[in-house]
Amino acid sequence: MTENDRPALGILFILIGTFAISVNDLLIKYLASDYPLHQMVFVRALIGLTLTLGLVMAEGGLHILRTSRPFLHLLRGVLVVLANLTYYAAFAVLPLGQVTALYFVAPLFITLLAIPVLGERIGAPRLIAVAVGFCGVLVMQQPWKAELDVSRVILLLPVLSAALYAFMQVLTRRLGGTSRASAMAVYIQASFVVVSATFGLVAGDGHLAEGITDESLLFILRPWIWPTAEDWPVFIGLGLCSGILSYCISAAYRTADAGLLAPFEYLGLAMAIFWGWSVFGEWPVPATWVGCVLIVGAGIFVFLRERKKNAPIPGRRSLWVRR
């Protein structure tokens, strides 16, 4: 059995990683009303970086961080940060389940981008499934309504995050074959540390948030605040979740077939709905339920179709790599 042919271990990794990301999202939404996003990302990534560097040492030492393709890793890091920013910015306004459901359109973007970027041939059944999935997005966006409770721009943020994630995966699909899971996790955490620290230097005093009333923009631009004693465990939990999910997700897609693992990631949507209901009192409206069914159903169909055809899933690694 090869490193890429251990399905049981891959499923275990994906389940742990998916649970970690659901807790990560819960903690970020919990802190969103008091702390800026870039501060949370910085503290989380700093703790996660320490953890993943420890895993690097355990897997062979610092030399495994060397890469022959630094530009792709840099591009991957930039896209991860942008996907992260657009995804979490919606948390200040939208329910957890709705944000997560809209983000799950990412596999459909991957299928479409694989045509011009990778030269993949996509048959009619998969194209129809993609169309159905995007109909789910439309149902949740409700363009037929003149007014909504939230801005349509906010509703588009998770979709933009999904598109950025998809572009990253299509461009960097071969990195997993040459880089260790711990090394790839370090690259991600380092990207978050650098960008969030830079953002903090520019906007950390809060001057850019003056006069802003939009909750999503305030979440991004409000000033840094030293965490209270009660909130430090939450920040530490964020760091632990970040390190665990980065390693587990990368390890999962190195040890098992993407088509086998992909359906398990949709458990993250059920977890998001559960946390939203149990912690924040959020329950999806009918349009969200319909959108969930269409998006998730289309995504699983695409994966199963590709698995049945014994074809590699174009650029597919994990929905959670952007974290």
- Residue-wise pLDDT for 107-136, tens only, equals 888 888 877 766 777 788 888 999 999 999
pLDDT at 273 over 90: yes
For 222, the 3-state DSSP assignment is coil
Instruction: Give the max Cα distance, the chain.
Output: 60
User: Is residue 39 one of the residues assigned to a domain?
Assistant: yes
More confident residue, 107 or 98: 98
Residue pLDDT, tens place only, 220-267 = 889 999 999 999 999 999 888 888 887 887 788 778 776 677 778 888
* Identity of the residue numbered 298: A
Instruction: Evaluate whether residue 317 is within a structural domain.
Output: no
Please answer whether residues 139 and 194 qualify as being in contact, where contact means their C-beta atoms are separated by less than 8 angstroms. Answer: no
pLDDT of residue 2: 46
Across the range 12-33, mean pLDDT stands at 92
- Element of type H or E holding 288: helix 286-308
Contact 248, 17 (CB under 8 A): yes
Question: What is the rounded average pLDDT of the residues 192-199?
Answer: 90
* Residue 30 in this model has a pLDDT that exceeds 90: yes
- Classify residue 123: in a domain, yes or no: yes
pLDDT in the model for residue 318: 56
C-alpha distance from residue 125 to each of 128, 191, 301 (Å):
5, 38, 9
- Of the candidate ranges 2-11, 75-84, 151-160, 313-322, the one whose mean pLDDT is the lowest: 313-322
- Please tell me whether the overall predicted TM-score, pTM, comes out greater than 0.95 for this model: no
Is residue 229 assigned to a domain?
yes
Say if 1 falls within a structural domain. Answer: no
Instruction: Extract the tokens encoding 177.
Output: 């074959």
pLDDT given for residue 239 in this prediction: 85
Number of domains in the chain: 1
Domain that holds residue 291: 7-308
Mean pLDDT of 157-182: 75
Using the predicted structure, report yes or no on whether residue 177 has a pLDDT greater than 70. Answer: no
Burial grade of 56 (CB within 10 A; 0-12, 13-18, 19 or more): buried
Residue 156 located in a structural domain: yes
Per mean pLDDT, which of 4-8, 34-38, 251-255 is the most reliable? 34-38
- Tell which residue, 267, 221, 251, has the closest CA to residue 37: 221
Domain for residue 313, yes or no?
no
∠ CA 43-46-51 to the nearest 5 degrees? 125
Average pLDDT score over residue span 87-91: 90
Helix%, strand%, coil% for the chain, nearest 5 = 75, 0, 25
What is the per-residue pLDDT for 316?
47
User: Is the separation of the CB atoms in 26 and 279 below 8 Å?
Assistant: yes
Judge whether 26 lies within some domain: yes
